Structure 1
Amino acid sequence: MAERKKARKKKEEPKMLAEIAWEVCNQVGGIYTVIRSKAPVMVDQWGKDYVLVGPKIHPNVSSDFEEHMDDKIPIAQVVREMKEMGWDVSFGTWLVSGRPQTVLLNPASVMPQLGNIKYFYWQDHHIDFNNHDPLVDEVMAFGFMVKEFLFRMARVCLEQDVELLAHFHEWMAGTAIADIRKEQIPIKTVFTTHATLLGRYLAMNDPYFYDHLPFLNWESEANNFNVNTIARLERACAHGANILSTVSEVTAKECIHLLGRSPEAIVPNGLNIERFSVLHEVQNLHHKYKEQINHFVMGHFFQSYTFDLNNVIYFFTSGRFEFKNKGYDLTLEALARLNYKMKKHKINKTVVMFFITKQPFHSINQEVMTSRAVMEEIDHNCEEIMKQVKERLFQDAATNSDHRLPELNKLVDDYWKLRYRRTIQSWKTKRLPSVVTHNLINDADDQILNFLRGANLLNHETDKVKIVYHPDFISSTSPLFGMEYGQFVRGCHMGIFPSYYEPWGYTPVECLARGVSAVTSDLSGFGDYVKTLDIGDEEHGIYMIDRVNQDYHSAAEQLSEKMLAFVKTTGRERIASRNLAEDLSEEFDWKNLIKHYDHAYDLALEKYPIENK
C-alpha cells in the first residue's frame, strides 16, 4: 500500500491494519478515549496502511467526520463497491489528532437482511437470538458489514501481496471474527476485551467476586443475568481470534475463568501526554482553575456560612455511576472517618469532595441556581462600586491638596450602598448547603445520598468535610461550573478512585497527566500496572489502596489515613508532588505503551502466518 512511514522499521513485509471499534466517531465509553488518543501514534507508525472502522450511528457524526473519496486508494475502491450494493458506507477522515482514515458502516442499511444474518450465525456458530434486543440487532448488522468490508479488503491485499491485520475491540465490534475464521478469509485477527461482560455484572452483585471467580460457571451466570446471547458472542470473539488480548493482568484472570482462554498479550491503555517547557506553568494553571472552583464553592456554601478558601483541599471522583465497582462506597466511608479525624485533631483546613457522575435528574436544584444567581449579582454590585470608587478617588487625588486617603464610604452613592446591603441580606440563609446540585429522579433510593443521610455528612458548618454531589458530567456549557472536565481536574488537589472492579481506569492517568495526585487500588488494572513501576509511589502523586489483601473496613481506614496525610501536606509539598506526578504520567504516554500493541500484532503474524497464494 502507498505511503508507508519510515517509522515502521520493524515491518519488513508490507502490512495493513484495520482497527474496528463501536466507539469510532461514537463517544459512549472509555474505549472512545483509547481509540481517539492512540490515533496519532498509529497514523505515525502505519500511515495510509491504517484504517479505523466504526458504526455510522452517532447523531453528531457529521461534525466529527469528513467524507472524501480517492479512487487511487484501495480502501476507497472497496467502499465504492459496497455503495454500489446499496449499502450506506462512508470513507473519510475522523477529525481528531492524527486525522486517521476512517470507514463508517451504517447497520440500518442491511436491517432487511437481519433475519438471514442471525439465521446463518446460529447455523454456523450455534448462538441463538431468541430474545429480542435492539442493541444486539445493530451489532449483528454491523458485524455482517464489517465482515463484507474486510473480505473485500483481504482480496485487494492478496493481489498486492500485503498482509492484512484486523484488531477488534469488545464484542460489539467483534462478531465478524467467527465468520472470518469459518470462511478462512486470509486475515490475522486480534481481539481485545476491555472488561468481560460477566465480570462487570458479577462484580456489581457479588461482594466476594474475586474469591469466587475460579469457581464460577459462566453459562449459569449468563443465564442468571439474562445475557446468554451476548456472553456467547463474547466467547466466540475470544476463541475465534488468532490473538486474545486484554488491558491488564486483573482482567486476564477474568478471561481465563469467564471466557475460557488465557490472553496472549496485555495492552495497557495510554494517553497523549503533553508537558510544559517550564514547571511553573503547571502551578499557574492549577491556580487559575482553582479560582473558578472557588467561585462555585462560594456560591454553594457561603450563603449559609464561610470558611477560609486559602485552607481548602479539593478532592473529587468521577466516572460511571457504579456505586461499588467505582469505589464510591469505600470513598464515602473514608470521608466520614476523615471528617471525624479532622475534628478530633482540630485541623484548620476544610475538604470539599466532589462526586462527578451521571444519574437521571429532573433539573438543577432551584436553591443552588438561585444562590449562584444572587452571588453573581453581588459580584456585579462590587464591580460597579469599585468602578465608582476608582473614578472618584482619582478625581479626589488630582484635586485635593490633602494627601491622606479619603473615607471610601463617602465615595459610594447611597443607591449602591443600599443595593449592596439588600442583595447580601437576600442571599444569606440558615439552611444547610445542599449536598446534591440537581433534583434526582430517584432521590429516595440514591446510594450516595442514602449514605450521606445515614452518616449525617450533610454539610454542617462544623463538618470539616463538605460534599458536592454533581450527577452530571462537567463541561464548558455547565451553568454551575462553566469549565471543561480537564480544567476542573487541574483545579483540584487529588482524585479519589479506589475501585473494586476496574479493568484499567483512565481517571487516575488523567489526573497525573495534569499534575494532580490520585488514589487508586490494586484491584484496578491501572493500579496493578503502576505497582511494577519504580516511580509509582506517593512522592510521584500516586496513592495505592490495598483491596486484594484486606477487607472493606480496613481498606476504608487505609484510605482515610492517606487522605488525612495529604490534607496535612504543605502547599510547597503539593507543588513538588504536582511536578513529579507529571514525570510518572509519561510512563503512560502512547509513545511508550504502543509497544504492547505492536507485540500483539507481531504475535498474530508470527503464530499464524498468512500463506499468500
Structure 2
Amino acid sequence: MIDLLFETSWEVCNKVGGIYAVLSTKAKTLRKRYDHVIFIGPDLWSKDNESPFFIESNTPLDDWEKQAVFPAGMTVRVGYWDVPGKPVAILVDYNSLYVYKNDLYAEMWKKYHVDSLHAYGDYDESCMFAYGAALVIESIVLWQRGKVRNVVAHFDEWTTGMGLLYVKARLQSVATVFTTHATSIGRSICGNGKPLYDYMSGYNGDQMAAELNMQSKHSLEKAAAQQADAFTTVSNVTARECEQLLERRPLVTPNAFEQNYVPKGSKFSKAREDARARLLQVARALTGEDYSSDTLIVGTSGRCEFRNKGLDVTIDALNMTRDKLNRINNLSRKIVVFIMVPAWTESPRKDLQASMRENRVARLFDPVITHNIHNFDTDPIYSKINFLGLHNVIDDSVKVIYVPSYLNGNDGIFNMSYYQLLIGFDLTIFPSYYEPWGYTPLESIAFGVPTITTDLAGFGQWVLDTEGDNLARTGVKVVHRTDSNYSETVAAVSQGLSNVYTMMPAELRKAKNAAKKTSKLASWDNFIQYYELAYSQALKKVEIRMVDDADGL
C-alpha cells in the first residue's frame, strides 16, 4: 500500500517529447490506484507564456504551501496537470539554486562518484531542477511525518538523477525508483553513427562516455540507476543496453496509452473525416492536384533524430515505392505522405495560407514543405527529399509533404493538433534504429491506424513477443532491422507500404480494427502492474534498510 507517490520529470506540464505522453496518459490510472499522487516538473513559464497544461489552483497541499520554507529565491506553484485524471502538480522555479551547485556536486562526488567536472549543455539546468524537486519532496515528507508511512519517489531520466541521489542521501525512509527511457550513452553512441547492437557486448559505458564527452550525464545516470531502490526501463531492448552500459539489470515497465484520448462512436467517424479533409486540403493547395477520397494518407512523426528515428529509411522507402508505382500505367489513386517532424521553423508559408483560403488548385513553388524554415540548406529531411527528386510532380504516384512544425493546433496551416490529424491516416511508418519503446506507433494503433515499425523498437519487439508479425491480424508490421541491413530494411518498408496500398477497402478496415484491438493490450490498465511491482520492490528495500538501521543502533 502506497500512502504517497511522487513522480518527477522535466516533462511534467512541459510537452517536449515522448515522456510527456507516457506520464500524462499514466496519470489517470495512478490516480485510480493511489489516493495521493503528486507530479513535479520545472516552472519554465511566465504570465505572458503560461503552460497550457497547468492549472494553478487550491489543492490538498494548501497548508503545506503556506508553511514550506526553501532556499532564498526558490519558489513553487501548486495546481493540477490538465490531463485525464488531473493529478496534483508542483512546478519548481529552480533558478536561484545555482549558487549551491558546487557544494551539491562536491557532495554527490563524495557519496556517489558523480563526475560533474565535465558538465556542459543542459546538465546544470537539469541538476538544479532535480535538486529543487528533491527539496519539495523532502519538505512534504517532513510535513507529513507520522501521517504517511509508505512513500515512493519516482524519477524519470538522467535529468532527474541528482534529485534521486539527494533523496537517497537524506530520506532513508523514502523508496526511490529510477526509470531510464533511453540511456544517455546508448543514444550518444547511435547519434555518433557507431553500431550499437552488433558490438553491444564489447561496449563499456564509462569508456564510451569518455570517448564521446558524456562523462557527467553518464556518471549521473549510472549512479542513479545503481543507487535507486528499484531501477526500471521501458523494454527488453533497452534492458540489455542498461545492463551493459549502466551495469545493473532493470525491471521492464513498458509504456502504455490512455484510451480516453481516442474519440468514440460517431465522434470517431467525424474526427476522422475532419482530419482527412484538412490533410487533403493542404496537399491540394500545395501540389495543385485534386485527391480522391480513397487517397492513401500516410504519416510519420517524432523528433528529428534522422538516423535513430529511421527518417532516412522512411524517405528512401518512399522513393523506392514511387519509382515502382510510377512504372505502372493508369494509377489514379495516389499516396500522400506527411513527414510531421518539428524543425527550425520560421513561419507558415503565406502563399500556402492564401491558396487554402482562396481554395485555389495551383501548384506552388517548392510544393514539398508547408512552413518556412531557417535552414533550408542544412535541414536533413528537406535535403534528402530534394536529393532524391521527390518534387511532387504531376505524374508521381507518391507525394511527400514535409511539415516542419509542432502540431499544437496553432501552426498556421493545419491548425489542428497531432492527435486530431493522426486519426485521419491510413498508415504510419516508424522504422526506428534506436527506439527504446516507440510511443508514436502505439499512439497510431490506438487511433486505429496500422503502423510499420522495427524489432529494434521496444514496442515492435513487444508486438512480436505477444502477437507476432502480421499486419492484417495485429495492425502492426514489424520489420527486422540490424546494424548492417539498411537496404533490406528500406525494401521491407517499401513492400509494407505497397501491400497496404493494394489492400481492398474491407481488408484495410480489418487491419484498422486489428490495430485498435492490439492497442488495448497495451493499455495502462494492463501495464500498470509492472510499475506496481517496481514500487513494491522499492518499498521492500526500505523496510530492510530501516530494520538494518534499527539493529545498528
Same fold (TM over 0.5): yes
- Which structure's CA Rg is the greater one? 1
Instruction: Show the counterpart of 1:220.
Output: 207
Q: Which position in structure 2 is the counterpart of 1:65?
A: 54
Measure the CA separation in 2 of the matches of 1:557 and 1:281.
Answer: 37
Distance 1:311 1:537, change over 3 A: same
State the TM-score, normalizing by the size of structure 2: 0.90
Task: Answer yes or no: is the 8 Å Cα contact 2:14–2:53 preserved in 1.
Answer: no
Displacement, 1:184?
6.0
1:593 — aligned with what? 527
Counterpart mapping for 1:154-553 below 5 A: 154-155=141-142, 159-160=146-147, 162-183=149-170, 185-206=172-193, 208-263=195-250, 265-274=251-260, 278=265, 282-302=268-288, 306=289, 308-346=291-329, 347-373=331-357, 375-376=358-359, 428=362, 434-534=367-467, 537-539=470-472, 540-548=474-482, 551-553=485-487
SS in 2 for 1:599: helix
Measured against aligned partners, the alpha-carbon deviations of 1:390-443 in whole angstroms (never above 9, x if no partner) come to xxxxxxxxxxxxxxxxxxxxxxxxxxxxxxxxxxxxx746x7652222333222
Query: How far is 1:367 from its partner?
Result: 4.2
Q: In the TM superposition, what is the alpha-carbon distance from 1:518 to its structure 2 partner?
A: 0.9
TM-score, length-scaled by structure 1: 0.82
Within 1, Cα distance between the matches of 2:92 and 2:67? 12
Distance between the aligned counterparts of 1:282 and 1:320, measured in 2? 27
1:125 matched to 2:112? The reply is yes
Change over 3 Å in CA distance of 1:313–1:606 after alignment to 2? same
Q: Is the 8 A contact 2:25 2:258 kept in 1?
A: yes
- Classify the secondary structure of the residue corresponding to 2:304: coil
Deviations 1:290-325 (A, max 9, x none): 1222221221122xxx35423421111011111111
- How much has 1:175 moved relative to structure 2? 1.0
* Structure 1 residues 288 and 181: alpha-carbon distance in aligned structure 2, compared to 1, 3 A threshold: closer
Matching residue's letter, 1:604: A
Deviation string for 1:426-464 (max 9, x for gaps)?
Answer: x746x7652222333222233223323332222122211
Question: Which residue number corresponds to residue 389 of structure 1?
Answer: none
SS at match of 2:307: coil
Q: Does structure 2 conserve the Cα–Cα contact (< 8 Å) formed by 1:68 and 1:91?
A: yes
CA positional deviation for 1:176: 2.5
- Residue 231 of structure 1 and its aligned partner are, at CA, apart by 1.2
Matches within 5 A, 1:24-63: 24-47=12-35, 49-59=36-46, 60-61=49-50
Contact 1:117 / 1:140 at 8 angstroms: preserved in 2? Answer: no
1:370 to partner: Cα distance: 4.3
136-145 vs 469-478, which moves further: 136-145
Q: Partner amino acid for 1:357?
A: V
CA distance in 1, matches of 2:350, 2:206: 48
Deviation at 1:119, TM superposition (A): 2.9
| Secondary structure of 1:188 counterpart | strand
Alignment length, in residue pairs?
A: 542
Alignment match, 2:100: 113
User: Paired residue for 2:132?
Assistant: 145
User: Which of 6, 31, 49 is equivalent to 1:18?
Assistant: 6
Alignment-derived partner of residue 408 in structure 1: none
Q: Which whole-Å CA distance do the structure 1 matches of 2:148 and 2:276 have between them?
A: 57
C-alpha contact (below 8 Å) 2:282/2:414 kept by paired residues:
yes
Letter in 2 for 1:465: V
Residue 190 of structure 1 contacts residue 604 of structure 1 at CA under 8 Å; is this kept in 2? yes
Which digits, 9 at most, give the CA deviation of each residue in 1:220-242, with x for residues without a partner? 32233322111111111111101
Check the 8 A contact 2:234/2:436 in 1, yes or no: yes
Shifted more, 580-589 versus 187-196: the winner is 580-589
The residue aligned with 2:492 is 558
Cα distance in 2 between the residues matched to 1:285 and 1:67: 31
Question: Is the 1:154–1:185 contact (alpha carbons within 8 Å) kept by the matching residues of 2?
Answer: no
Shift of 1:496: 0.6
Distance in 1 separating the partners of 2:433 and 2:411: 30
| Paired residue type of 2:393 | H
Q: Report the Cα distance in structure 1 between the residues aligned to 2:403 and 2:55, rounded to whole angstroms.
A: 35
| 8 Å contact kept, 2:53–2:81 | yes
Q: Any idea what SS the aligned residue of 1:468 has?
A: strand
Larger mean CA deviation between 174-183 and 17-26 belongs to: 174-183
Q: Which amino acid aligns with 2:530?
A: H
For the 8 Å contact 1:246–1:252, the answer to whether it is kept is yes
The separation in 1 between residues aligned to 2:37 and 2:362, in whole angstroms, is 60
How far is the alpha carbon of 1:502 from its aligned partner? Answer: 0.7
Amino acid in structure 1 at the alignment position of 2:501: V
What SS is found at the alignment partner of 1:467? Answer: strand
Give 2:85's match in structure 1, choosing from 80, 98, 112: 98
Q: 1:519 to 1:134 in 2, by over 3 A?
A: closer
Give the 3 Å change call, closer, same or farther, for CA 25–276 of structure 1 in structure 2. Answer: closer
Q: How far is 1:37 from its partner?
A: 1.1
- Cα pair 2:118 2:215 within 8 Å, conserved: no
Between 464-473 and 532-541, the greater mean CA deviation after superposition: 532-541
CA distance in 1, matches of 2:223, 2:16: 23
Shift in CA distance, 497/428, structure 1 to aligned 2, threshold 3 Å: closer
Q: 1:282 & 1:100 partners in 2: Cα distance?
A: 27
Residue 17 of structure 1 aligns to a residue whose secondary structure is strand
Moved more, 127-136 or 476-485: 127-136
| Paired AA for residue 391 in structure 2 | L
For residues 201 and 79 of structure 1, the distance between their equivalents in structure 2, rounded to whole angstroms, comes to 43
Alpha-carbon distance between aligned partners in 1 of 2:67 and 2:50, rounded to the nearest angstrom: 20
Percent identical pairs in the alignment equals 29
Aligned amino acid, residue 84 of structure 2: S
- Residue type at the aligned position of 2:390: L
Q: Structure 2: any 5+ residue segments left out of the alignment?
A: none
Q: Which has the higher helix share?
A: 1
Q: CA RMSD in A?
A: 2.7
Pair 1:56–1:434, CA change in 2 (3 A): same
Q: Secondary structure at the match of 1:96?
A: coil
CA deviation string 1:459-510 (max 9, x = no partner): 1222111111111122322322222211211111111101111111111111
- How many Å apart are 1:555 and its aligned residue? 1.1
1:221 partner letter: M
CA distance in 1: counterparts of 2:263 and 2:86, whole angstroms: 24
Identify if the C-alpha distance between structure 1 residues 590 and 153 changes in structure 2 by more than 3 Å, giving closer, same or farther. same
SS of the aligned residue for 1:168 comes to strand
How far apart, in 1, do the equivalents of 2:23 and 2:76 lie?
A: 20
Residues 439, 532 of structure 1: alpha-carbon distance in 2 compared, 3 angstrom cutoff: same
Distance 1:467 1:516 in 2: 19
Paired residue type of 1:453? N
Give unmatched runs, 5+ long, in structure 1.
1-10, 379-426
* 1:414 paired residue number: none
Residues 61 and 79 of structure 1, relative CA distance in 2, 3 Å threshold: farther
How far has the Cα of 1:573 moved from its partner?
2.2
Structure 2 Cα separation of the partners of residues 117 and 277 of structure 1: 50
